[in-house]
Chains A and B, each alone.
Chain A
Amino acid sequence: MKKLINLTIDDQKIAVMEGTTILEAAKKSGINIPTLCYHEDLCIAGNCRICIVEQENTRALPAACATPVTEGMVISTTSSKVRNARKYLVELLLSEHNADCTACVKNRHCELQTLAEQNHIREHTFIDLKFDKNYTIDKLSPAIIIDYSKCIRCQRCVRTCEEIQSISALSAAYKGKDMKITTFFEKPINTVVCSTCGQCVAHCPTGALTEHFYIDEVWDAINNPDKHVVVQTAPSIRVALGEEFGMPPGSIVTGKMVSALKRIGFDSVEDTDFTADLTVIEEGNELLRRLKSKIVDKDPNVKLPMITTCSPAWVKYCEHAFPDQLDHLSTCKSPMSMFGALSKTYYAEKFKIDPAKIVSVAIMPCIAKKFESNRPEMNASGYRDTDYVLTTRELAVMIKQAGIDFNKLPETNFDSLMGVASGAGMIFGNSGGVMEAALRCAYEIVVGNDIPFKDLSITPLHGSEGEIVELSLTFRDTKPEWSFLEGVTVNLAHANMLSNAYKIMNEVKDGNSKYHFIEIMSCPNGCIGGAGQPLPTSREKRAARKDAIYKGEKQIEIRKAQDNPQIVNVYDDYLGKPLEEKAHKLLHVPGFTPRKRH
């Protein structure tokens, strides 16, 4: 039984539960103690020392984030001792930091910059320790850029990679003045185990870790009269983009987003939700085919559980960590790459445009998508499926560059060929959404009726962040051609964060997995918590975006992918049948690439 602890912070008396830190207690009394290495998603490091406070009758200044409250504690957060010490600490960090702010992507979004401002740093007290100007910026990855000169060694990236993703592609090396954050043997990030999920970028307080930007390339394509630029937007962009323009988290801005993209000058604005619907059909059918091969044909080469592949960081992680388990992965491309392939084939044919002139741009909540678009196998049409991937943040930059007053934009609909989507496509933005969408489809194929959940919402799948969610579903009253599934119970699971994928995959590897179908998303809460989303990331924001996705989905008339008329059209007019020749060639990958652990 925990007890209440009484303490005084800045002359305010408060009582908090035992185990609360000074930082949390202060927050409860309305005092925000400045922090830097602290992040609510991560374990406490207590290494930047910015959050020091003065405790009565104690010599040292404890770090508020790392110190639990004790009975009768008297804390000052603004004493001269604290203020002077904190100012020195910020100045020390600045003396080591490449503070070339105007040339930094994090300018005005940098937590160190904010601290410098808060502490009213107006001169450089200490000697400039910035290292040699001849340092190299690691730009070799298509996804992540590392500029070590801006690193303040708070180890947020290190903790992110270890705790959220169980990868540890980044870690601390050397000691003392030489201590730095780096990769295995200081290799470029594109050659190590990094999954490119980019969560390190989302958690970096400065400009040391950023995504690889393609804004200028996209502007050049738009401004090139010979190019026809098609853009797609992922399900989770519309519930997050508004934050970049001062709207509260969870605002749904679909119509304004489409208007902005059109004003920027994209020739066609389409919806990734459409190909999410397509993924549902292909993946649902693939699952049923695997179940049939396993149960009826007893084919030993067919692997169950089948695991989704919408999350590119998950795919790359699996290739590194479980290279002998790749047969479990669905061969379906992600919705983005399906769209890319169709934009250079179906779309090109429909509008009679030379695919060589089409530039396919994707707005994604994701940094790993930049890696995915560069994978050699993503060129089914003979052209790159997707030419450029921009994050939500990059789109916001483009909108600002174009001088568009986002809040005043009218609402516009997506263009018509691949712009209609069902609610099933939209919920791809949340962890568990792919599974829910696929079930709505597969169940109907097998049974002929809607899945027996109120309002088609499979709420048991709407799990919370970082949770492995399980569901068992038994088929009853199956159609004659699916009678082998009569009474069969399929076990399903979905998880987000690769640390959970690691747990699940170890079971799969050992042959102990009870599941038939697993959805894995790399980022906390899935795409809405993607590394390309507006910063800073927080649990509260992710929860608001999640609610917005489920709320938005209910406003869409069509709730099942198979009911989407444009999906019916694309199969009738172009692809033929799911998993069959043309669909297989364009929408599935030939295979995966086993990769090394280092």
Chain B
Amino acid sequence: MTEGKKINRIDSIFKEYADDKFDYLKMISEMSNDKIIRDLTESGLRGRGGAGFPTGDKWKYAAAEPGDEKYVICNADEGEPGTFKDKEILMKVPHKVLTGMTACAKVTGAKKGYIYLRWEYKFMRNDLQKFTDEFNRVLKDMNIDFEIGIVTGAGAYVCGEESALFDSMEGMRGEPRNKPPFPTASGFMNKPTVINNVETFAASTMILLFGGKSYAKLGTDFSHGSKLFCVSGDTDKPGIYELELGMTLHEFVEKFGDGDTKAVSVGGVSGALVPRKKFKDTVIGWEGVPTGGAMILFNSTRSIYHILHNYLEFFEEESCGQCTPCRIGCQQLRKGIEEIKKGEMDPSYLDTLSNLSKVMNVTAKCGLGQSVMNPFTSAVTNFKEELLY
């Protein structure tokens, strides 16, 4: 059994620590760029969208790039099934996000920032636009040469992938680009760009308020700080919770499960589908199973075959379709488990499919195709009988 942290609720993102929402902005405007980078680096903050790139490094790399034209982009294309925290952040505490973006702009020298808002969140666009306008006015009054705009996506899951998001913003078909070059060198409009998740920007603001070292005290050596978790599925307590990183899945299920939890999708459909027998050994964090926030609980009334089938249908449709392993691989996996279930294909074909998912994991052009393996191999390894019979 892995020694995990006790479950511990934190309240930094949604709680107000200032009298006025522009106080955070005043605070960062008085900080030196070195201090901002130092605090972020010391905090150990890693991208909260799920990929987990160290935020301080990202900002630092973009700052080191030559040129005047740079961009700060807030990825609000919250498309991962089971994730709904960014919506809440943008509705409740948008000033923390915009402040984080401004801190990033200050460090990198970007003069323009954008929030890429997913199509499904267009209901909040007017309110967010109003607030952004107000924020921009304040920036102007404070003589900060930075302006934030909002771009609405068109409803594709793949546009949450940073380089596909740039394509989409540039008015093109959203397809992930080849990397390198990475966004910090060549991103939006092929200019140095910092792109971070909504929560990452909000967390950055709070880190700059509390100080990097104090944030780093939370969590584990690999996974510092706290993070928002979106709890859904078979639970009596669905919702958004800010928790310290590093707890085991067992702790989590004890708290949020309905007593009959069979599996948890940690990180949504592109994350692992962890079975009950591994709850105690699974640390939620970079040293174990990381998550962008989605925690979908399933109890014993759920069929893993149907869950996996549903996931694969999702991937099949949401792949951008450009690269071979993802476009065709997803179809083969979905069709494959159907045929096995029907008895049209031999059970041994499941091994072929497993290998296929592993090939997809190493050959797909972007994270979408690469991560299909996560739920697929966990389902095959842990719930094989449910897929066969």
**Interface residue ranges, A against B (CB under 8 Å):** 44-50, 52, 59-61, 63, 66-68, 81, 84-85, 88-89, 92-93, 95-96, 125-127, 129, 152-153, 155, 171-172, 174-179
Does the CB pair B364–A49 fall under 8 Å?
A: yes
Contacts A60-B363, A95-B328 known; 12 new A-B pairs at CB < 8 A: A46-B323, A47-B323, A52-B363, A88-B355, A89-B359, A126-B336, A126-B356, A129-B331, A172-B322, A176-B317, A177-B330, A179-B322
Does the CB pair B178–A63 fall under 8 Å?
A: yes
Q: Which of A45, A89, A176 touches B316 (beta carbons < 8 Å)? A: A176
Complex CA–CA separation, A53 to B190 (angstroms): 26
Q: Which of A46, A89, A155, A176 touches B325 (beta carbons < 8 Å)? A: A89
Does the CB pair A177–B156 fall under 8 Å?
A: no
Complex interface bits, B326-358 against A, C-beta within 8 A gives 1, otherwise 0 = 011111100110010000010000001001100
Closest chain-B Cβ to A574's Cβ sits at a distance in Å of 55
Does the CB pair A47–B322 fall under 8 Å?
A: yes
Closest residue of chain A to B332 (Cβ to Cβ) is: A126
Does the CB pair A177–B317 fall under 8 Å?
A: yes
Q: Which of B284-336 contact A (CB under 8 A)?
A: 315-325, 327-332, 335-336
Q: Which of B87-130 contact A (CB under 8 A)?
A: none
Most buried by A among B317, B330, B331, B339: B331
- Count B-side interface residues using an 8 Å CB cutoff: 37
Does the CB pair A175–B318 fall under 8 Å?
A: yes
Chain B residue numbers with a CB within 8 Å of A63 are 178, 365
Closest residue of chain B to A46 (Cβ to Cβ) is: B178
Closest 7 CB pairs of A and B: A179-B321, A66-B178, A92-B328, A47-B322, A176-B319, A46-B178, A176-B317
Does the CB pair A61–B362 fall under 8 Å?
A: yes
Complex CA–CA separation, A153 to B321 (angstroms): 8
Chain B residue numbers with a CB within 8 Å of A52 are 362-363
Q: Which of B180, B335, B356 touches A68 (beta carbons < 8 Å)? A: B180
Complex CA–CA separation, A96 to B325 (angstroms): 12
Does the CB pair B327–A153 fall under 8 Å?
A: yes
- Given A85-B362, A92-B329, A176-B330: A60 in contact with B370 (beta carbons within 8 A): yes
Complex CA–CA separation, A469 to B363 (angstroms): 43
Complex CA–CA separation, A47 to B178 (angstroms): 9
Does the CB pair A89–B158 fall under 8 Å?
A: no
Closest residue of chain A to B334 (Cβ to Cβ) is: A177
Chain A residue numbers with a CB within 8 Å of B321 are 153, 172, 174-179
Does the CB pair B363–A177 fall under 8 Å?
A: no
Does the CB pair B178–A84 fall under 8 Å?
A: no
Closest chain-A Cβ to B303's Cβ sits at a distance in Å of 22
- Given A49-B325, A175-B317: A59 in contact with B362 (beta carbons within 8 A): yes
User: Is B38 at the interface (CB under 8 A from chain A)?
Assistant: no
Chain A residue numbers with a CB within 8 Å of B319 are 175-177, 179
User: Is B173 at the interface (CB under 8 A from chain A)?
Assistant: yes
Question: Per DSSP, are chain B's interface residues mostly helix, strand or loop, or mixed?
Answer: helix
Most buried by B among A61, A89, A152, A177: A177
Does the CB pair A92–B324 fall under 8 Å?
A: yes
- Given A47-B324, A93-B328: A88 in contact with B356 (beta carbons within 8 A): yes
Chain B residue numbers with a CB within 8 Å of A177 are 316-317, 319, 321, 327, 330-331
Chain A residue numbers with a CB within 8 Å of B355 are 84, 88
Does the CB pair B363–A61 fall under 8 Å?
A: yes
Most buried by A among B175, B180, B359, B365: B359
Chain A residue numbers with a CB within 8 Å of B370 are 60
Complex CA–CA separation, A126 to B325 (angstroms): 13
Chain B residue numbers with a CB within 8 Å of A67 are 178, 180
Complex CA–CA separation, A177 to B335 (angstroms): 12
- Given A63-B365, A88-B356, A127-B339: A44 in contact with B178 (beta carbons within 8 A): yes
Closest residue of chain B to A179 (Cβ to Cβ) is: B321
Chain B residue numbers with a CB within 8 Å of A129 are 328, 331-332, 335
Q: Which of A46, A127, A171 touches B345 (beta carbons < 8 Å)? A: A127
Q: Which of A61, A68, A95, A175 touches B320 (beta carbons < 8 Å)? A: A175
Complex CA–CA separation, A126 to B328 (angstroms): 10
Chain B residue numbers with a CB within 8 Å of A81 are 362
Complex CA–CA separation, A152 to B321 (angstroms): 11
29 intermolecular pairs with C-beta atoms under 8 Å apart: A46-B323, A48-B324, A49-B325, A50-B324, A61-B363, A68-B180, A81-B362, A84-B359, A85-B359, A88-B325, A88-B356, A88-B359, A89-B324, A89-B359, A92-B332, A92-B356, A127-B332, A127-B336, A129-B332, A152-B324, A153-B321, A155-B322, A171-B173, A172-B173, A175-B156, A175-B158, A175-B319, A176-B315, A179-B322
Chain B residue numbers with a CB within 8 Å of A172 are 173, 175, 321-322
Complex CA–CA separation, A177 to B329 (angstroms): 10
Complex CA–CA separation, A175 to B370 (angstroms): 17
Chain B residue numbers with a CB within 8 Å of A126 are 332, 336, 352, 356
Complex CA–CA separation, A67 to B179 (angstroms): 7
Complex CA–CA separation, A178 to B328 (angstroms): 10
Does the CB pair B330–A93 fall under 8 Å?
A: no
Complex CA–CA separation, A179 to B323 (angstroms): 10
Closest chain-A Cβ to B183's Cβ sits at a distance in Å of 16
Complex CA–CA separation, A179 to B158 (angstroms): 13
Chain A residue numbers with a CB within 8 Å of B345 are 127
Complex CA–CA separation, A64 to B355 (angstroms): 22
Complex CA–CA separation, A52 to B180 (angstroms): 15
Chain A residue numbers with a CB within 8 Å of B365 are 46-47, 49, 63
Chain A residue numbers with a CB within 8 Å of B356 are 88, 92, 126
Does the CB pair B178–A92 fall under 8 Å?
A: no
Chain B residue numbers with a CB within 8 Å of A84 are 355, 359
Closest chain-A Cβ to B124's Cβ sits at a distance in Å of 25
Complex interface bits, B366-389 against A, C-beta within 8 A gives 1, otherwise 0 = 000010000000000000000000
Closest chain-B Cβ to A335's Cβ sits at a distance in Å of 40
Complex CA–CA separation, A67 to B158 (angstroms): 22
Q: Which of B327, B329, B332, B335 touches A179 (beta carbons < 8 Å)? A: B327
Chain A residue numbers with a CB within 8 Å of B316 are 176-177
Complex CA–CA separation, A126 to B329 (angstroms): 10
Closest residue of chain A to B314 (Cβ to Cβ) is: A176
Complex CA–CA separation, A152 to B359 (angstroms): 19
Closest chain-A Cβ to B342's Cβ sits at a distance in Å of 12
Chain A residue numbers with a CB within 8 Å of B352 are 125-126
Closest residue of chain B to A126 (Cβ to Cβ) is: B332
Complex CA–CA separation, A81 to B345 (angstroms): 26
Does the CB pair B180–A92 fall under 8 Å?
A: no
Closest chain-A Cβ to B165's Cβ sits at a distance in Å of 15
Complex CA–CA separation, A81 to B363 (angstroms): 11
Closest residue of chain B to A44 (Cβ to Cβ) is: B178
Chain A residue numbers with a CB within 8 Å of B361 are 60
Complex CA–CA separation, A438 to B173 (angstroms): 45
Chain B residue numbers with a CB within 8 Å of A96 are 328, 331
Closest residue of chain A to B177 (Cβ to Cβ) is: A46
Q: Which of B317, B320, B322, B363 touches A85 (beta carbons < 8 Å)? A: B363
Closest residue of chain B to A90 (Cβ to Cβ) is: B324
Does the CB pair A153–B362 fall under 8 Å?
A: no
Closest residue of chain B to A128 (Cβ to Cβ) is: B335
Closest chain-A Cβ to B23's Cβ sits at a distance in Å of 44
Closest residue of chain A to B344 (Cβ to Cβ) is: A127
Q: Which of A49, A61, A125 touches B324 (beta carbons < 8 Å)? A: A49
Closest residue of chain A to B323 (Cβ to Cβ) is: A47
Closest chain-A Cβ to B172's Cβ sits at a distance in Å of 10
Chain A residue numbers with a CB within 8 Å of B320 are 175-176, 179
Q: Which of B172-194 contact A (CB under 8 A)?
A: 173, 175, 178, 180
